[in-house]
Amino acid sequence: MATRKDFMEVLGMLAVAFAQTETVVDMLLAELIAPGQAWIGYTVASEMSTSRKVKLIERLVGVAGYAEQYRQRVGEFVKAVRKQLSFRNRLIHGFWSMDQVEMGRGFVTVVKPDPGRRNARGECELLRKARYEIADLSDAATSAADLAAKGLTLLIPVNPQLASALEAGLGSAEEHGD
């Protein structure tokens, strides 16, 4: 039987993993904009949304003369980040019902406004509801943390010292009690 605390814990794990991925995106873009001077690139990138940063990473890697294998790895990372961003936004910006009965059954309903959503008759259905099981959310937290680690491997060729410093901050599953 899952409790409110269990769901809050997994939401915290998701938030941390999402933040780690977004930091890796920031640093990768910063290095691509101004190699060796990440602070310049970061200053520019800090004014962009994450989806815009990901798009720019993809474009910069495509024109900067990187090896095909590296460009493919960046493409896979970008695709995964885009997918994660959509999921992240539903969770982080949604309204968690936190209904005790639902949580006791191992799931929670998250509601998010979506003014573009239409029913079969073309009428606006403002709220999008999604149901998430705690086990799936826990798996998603692990996948999100794995994506951040994968992103770090992309940062190594452009700034190994920065990648190493960020990697030290990721820690291991054992350090987190998993």
**pLDDT score recorded for residue 157:** 81
Q: Both tokens of residue 162?
A: 């920065």
Cα 72 to Cα 47: distance, rounded to the nearest angstrom: 27
pLDDT band at 83 (very low <50, low <70, confident <90, very high): very high
Tally Cβ neighbours within 10 Å of residue 140: 20
On average, the pLDDT of the chain sits at 86
pLDDT band at 170 (very low <50, low <70, confident <90, very high): low
Q: Look up the pTM and report it.
A: 0.81
Average pLDDT on 90-105 reads: 88
pLDDT tens for each residue of 113-159: 777 777 788 777 777 888 999 999 999 999 999 999 999 889 888 77
pLDDT band at 15 (very low <50, low <70, confident <90, very high): very high
Is the CB of residue 92 less than 8 Å from the CB of residue 79? Answer: no
pLDDT band at 171 (very low <50, low <70, confident <90, very high): low
**pLDDT score recorded for residue 175:** 43
Cα 117 to Cα 100: distance, rounded to the nearest angstrom: 28
Tell me the domain boundaries of the chain.
4-95+134-170
Helices (H), the chain: 4-33, 38-45, 50-63, 68-92, 100-104, 134-155, 160-170
